[in-house]
Amino acid sequence: MNQAIDHMPATLEVLFSPAEFEALRHRDLSQTTCVVFDVLRATSSMVTALGNGATAIIPVAEISEALALRSRQPDLLLAGERNGLRIRGDLTGGVDFDFGNSPREFIHERVRRKTIVMTTTNGTRALRACINSSAIFVGAFLNLTALTAAIRESVPRNLLVICSGTHEESSYEDTLGAGALCDGLWPLYEAGAVADSAQIARQLFLSERNDLTSAIQRARNGRRLLTIPDLAADVPLCLQTGIIPLVPRLNADGRVTVA
């Protein structure tokens, strides 16, 4: 069996839409490495928090899960959004979350040596959807250089890049992030079984890479955030490429830590 696997071509695939998350639960991902992008903004916030000294991030799908963890461990910090805004007491029965989903909130003074429970509309759900894969990495433009280098070193046989999307639809910014990663890894996979989805993501990135700022202004989520004064600054921050040299990984215990 191992010999057969060794002679199979490497695979590279991009999953665009959160509508496909449920199907992941029924796929055999035991020999697949997954990378999850939620550029605006969950994975960018995770990378930032860990870069500023947080011990771990615990991604959960529901507000109730976050509150249950906090009740058992009062020292945990709560982070999350619904409809892009910080979760407040009207959604929790009176508990305001410590953070929203803006990477600018996760400063060193607030997160150092802290564990943060995070729930977002799509990003944390995407991470949980691929929990049965052999490895799960957190991707963003912020850590793209380190992430690409780590994957080049390990050369996973099967690589699945997951775009968290917006609501139940694909998102332009996550597709660009996935395409940037595919482009950086192309020499490793182009002779293998490259899915059309990876070709699409890479070509989109190549067509936009010289002006990502303009590209993000055409993205649904990017346009929305730019109209909200308190959140507009998140957009250019999340497009900074390779400034955080970390590769966060979701571990078997459900915690995201630095690999």
Q: pLDDT tens digits, residue range 175-213? A: 999 999 999 999 999 999 999 999 999 999 999 999 999
pTM score, whole prediction: 0.94
What does the pLDDT read at residue 4?
36
pLDDT in tens, 34-82: 999 999 999 999 999 999 999 999 999 999 999 999 999 999 999 999 9
Asked whether 202 and 186 are in contact (CB, 8 A), the reply is yes
Asked whether 159 and 51 are in contact (CB, 8 A), the reply is no
What does the pLDDT read at residue 29?
95
Unique residue bearing structure tokens 């899915």: 195
Instruction: Give the three-class secondary structure for 16.
Output: coil
Task: State both tokens at 231.
Answer: 């959140």
- Averaged pLDDT score across all residues of the chain: 94
What does the pLDDT read at residue 83?
87
Q: Where are the alpha helices (DSSP H) in 131-216?
A: 144-154, 172-189, 196-208, 212-216
What does the pLDDT read at residue 134?
96
Burial code (b: 16+ CB inside 10 Å, e: under 16) for 3-17 equals: eeeeeeebbbbbbbb
pLDDT tier, 25 (very low <50, low <70, confident <90, very high otherwise)? confident
Give the separation between CA 149 and CA 123, rounded to whole angstroms. 23
Indicate the class that CATH gives domain 10-258. alpha beta
On the question of pLDDT at 8 being above 80, the answer is: no
Domain segments of the chain: what residues? 10-258
